[in-house]
Chains A and B, each alone.
Chain A
Amino acid sequence: MRTPRPAPNVVLLILALVGLTAWLGLESVSVAANRIVPGTGYRVVEVIGGGALLVTTLPWLALAGLAWRPSRTRFIVALVIVVLMLSALPAWLALSAAMLVEGGQARLGIAAGLWVVFFLLLLAMIELRTRLALSRLVGWALLLPPVAIVGLGVARWLSALALWQEYRSRSDQFLGALGEHLLLVGAAVGASLVLGVGLALAMRRWPGLQRVGFGVLNFLQTIPSIALFGLLLAPLAWLSAQVGWLAALGVSGIGWAPALLALVGYSLLPMVRNTFVALEAVDPGVIDAARGMGMSRSQVFRQVRLPLALPVILEGIRITTVQAIGLTAVAALIGAGGLGTFIFQGLGQAAMDLVLLGALPILVLALLVDALLGALTDILRPGVAE
């Protein structure tokens, strides 16, 4: 008896073939004389010629081949290939820079083809991670080699990269904006945590408050951020004109004050909802048992209810933080600073690399916070044995 041949993994197969097509057919990098003019795109074959191009198709074909008759070992090999390919992308950029960029002002941009390839490789990685049932943490660890290579090589070999040039010309500003961004997010999440837990406890004590409370918070969540920032502008400007100590604190219609207020407003709904649900959902039997053991009310709350509710509360903090990171970017419009400043400056100057300098860190920040708090929630979830 022969064992039946496994069916091809269609997903990986398609990813590999589409990736190969994008690698061959789309413009991979672009070179621009300065930061404003649109660059000239180059396909891979125009950078390294036909012979070398054939060599670069090999890993794609290998992936497709491994997907054709999949097995666990083959998936592991495929995963290694994907990680190697991701690590090779910075090297490809360095090579292109060496071949194409001449002169101090010229800069290398990443064109559509390379973004598509990058994205498809990430998809392939997620697919393989899922098929191999690897934990999320391992998935993130697999990204370390490519990130490390970028980190080590960027100053030396990738200095022509447009994104890096944008960063270098305003590195102090960038760090300042990053700090502002984190400070605003931290302050908003911190304030909404305190207020949210307080509100959730009050709702448990006075059930009448639930309807009104959730009604108001839901309503607030519906209002678009840019509108809320705008609507806060006039009253806050008026307040700071009337009340001296508020003006002394730096409160005004634009800046951090309306941003923080709006951020806390948006953060309250997920925070209150999760805290409330978490505290309500604790099994009454467990509470009875704790009471039966002679625990006092406050002991029951601190030692039983709160620890059991903690994972869901943390989930609320995670949602809130990720949401706040994105909303803070919008707050740059009303002068609150943060990484959004680069996005809107870049859009205003039609300098796309500046837009990327703002948008990419925001994206990375959101993913990072999501991953870290997600991992923390998993660790704290009771009943999950190590």
Chain B
Amino acid sequence: MVEWRRWRVPLGWLALLLAATLGMGQLEGVFRWIESDSRQVIYARADFLTLLGRHLLVVSVAAVLAILVGVGGAIAATRRWGRDFLPLVSQLASIGQTFPPVAVLALAVPVLGFGTLPIIVALLLYGLLPIVRNTLAGLEGIDPGVMEAARGMGMSPSQILRQVELPLAAPVILAGVRTSVTINIATAAIGATVGASNLGDPIISGIVNGNTAYVVQGALLIGLLAISVDSFFARLPLASAH
């Protein structure tokens, strides 16, 4: 019962997102009122569920890769054999945050071409930064006394990593993942301009054709998606510990 209550808000947002995705056609009257000049007021080039699915797919592929590479890289840079790389990695993670996501996306296209691939790569690169930065902060922020105690108990380095360092750093790492995913949902939408088809599509198509109704439909769904995902992250047990 308590468990269920925790997820009430995110599930509510999710239900709203699904309802809006599936029931957009029912709202034709409202959109007809917004955009009275156009013949067609419901975006029809692809159905919203497909667009939502593609959006989620791109963001989750990029997120999983970013978590693997980012957390792995940060762990490597804090081990004894990887310490040499620590200054460069942490500098890079903080400088990289300055790069606007749009610029990163735009720069990926000349190198990788149009389509879904440049978006995944751009999202991966950009999504790495908050994860790396937070993992480093989490691992470096552990009380040296705790590490000392773990070593004194005879734990091996890999045991310390799995049973002490990662659990203690988890809230900070998770906060980084949350930032990363939030930014990537937004950036993926802009990816519609470089030929990926996702929830950004109706917006771009609406702006190009001057159809406000399309824009509102896309914007509504992306907004709901971002809020649902963010509120899930906000309620993960680890996040509240911090």
Chain A residues engaging chain B, CB cutoff 8 angstroms: 9-11, 112, 115, 123, 126-127, 130-131, 219, 222-231, 233-234, 237, 253-254, 322, 325-327, 329-330, 333-334, 340, 343-344, 346-348, 350, 352, 355-356, 358-360, 362-363, 366-367, 370
Q: For residue B206, which residues in chain A have a CB less than 8 angstroms away from its CB?
A: 230
SS of B interface (majority):
helix
Chain B residues engaging chain A, CB cutoff 8 angstroms: 34, 84-85, 87-88, 91-92, 95, 98-103, 106-107, 109-111, 114, 182, 185-186, 189-190, 193-194, 200, 203-204, 206-207, 212, 215-216, 218-220, 222-223, 226-227, 230
Q: For residue A330, which residues in chain B have a CB less than 8 angstroms away from its CB?
A: 102, 190
A111 and B98 CA atoms in complex are apart in Å by 24
A245 and B36 CA atoms in complex are apart in Å by 24
Minimum CB–CB distance from A315 to chain B (whole Å) comes to 13
A222 and B111 CA atoms in complex are apart in Å by 30
Q: Which of B92, B106, B204, B220 contacts A343 (CB under 8 A)?
A: B106
| B85 contacts A11, C-beta separation under 8 Å | yes
| B100 contacts A223, C-beta separation under 8 Å | no
Q: Which of A126, A355, A366 contacts B88 (CB under 8 A)?
A: A126
Q: For residue B207, which residues in chain A have a CB less than 8 angstroms away from its CB?
A: 254, 333-334
| A230 contacts B84, C-beta separation under 8 Å | no
Offer 30 A-B interface pairs, CB within 8 angstroms, sorted by A.
A11-B84, A11-B88, A123-B92, A126-B88, A130-B88, A224-B189, A224-B222, A226-B189, A226-B203, A226-B222, A227-B222, A228-B219, A228-B223, A230-B216, A230-B218, A322-B100, A326-B99, A329-B100, A329-B103, A333-B190, A343-B102, A343-B103, A347-B106, A352-B109, A356-B107, A356-B110, A358-B106, A359-B103, A362-B103, A363-B103
- Minimum CB distance partner of B217 in chain A: A230
| A352 contacts B222, C-beta separation under 8 Å | no
Minimum CB–CB distance from B232 to chain A (whole Å) comes to 12
| B87 contacts A227, C-beta separation under 8 Å | no
Q: Which of A253, A329, A360 contacts B102 (CB under 8 A)?
A: A329
Known: A333-B204, A359-B106. A227 touches B88 (CB 8 A): no
Name the residue in B99, B204, B215 with the highest tally of chain A Cβ atoms < 10 Å from its Cβ.
Answer: B215
| B182 contacts A227, C-beta separation under 8 Å | no
Q: Which of A9, A123, A131, A362 contacts B100 (CB under 8 A)?
A: A362
Minimum CB–CB distance from A330 to chain B (whole Å) comes to 6
Q: For residue A228, which residues in chain B have a CB less than 8 angstroms away from its CB?
A: 219, 223
- The 8 closest A-B CB pairs, nearest first, are A326-B100, A230-B219, A224-B186, A352-B110, A227-B219, A359-B106, A227-B222, A130-B87
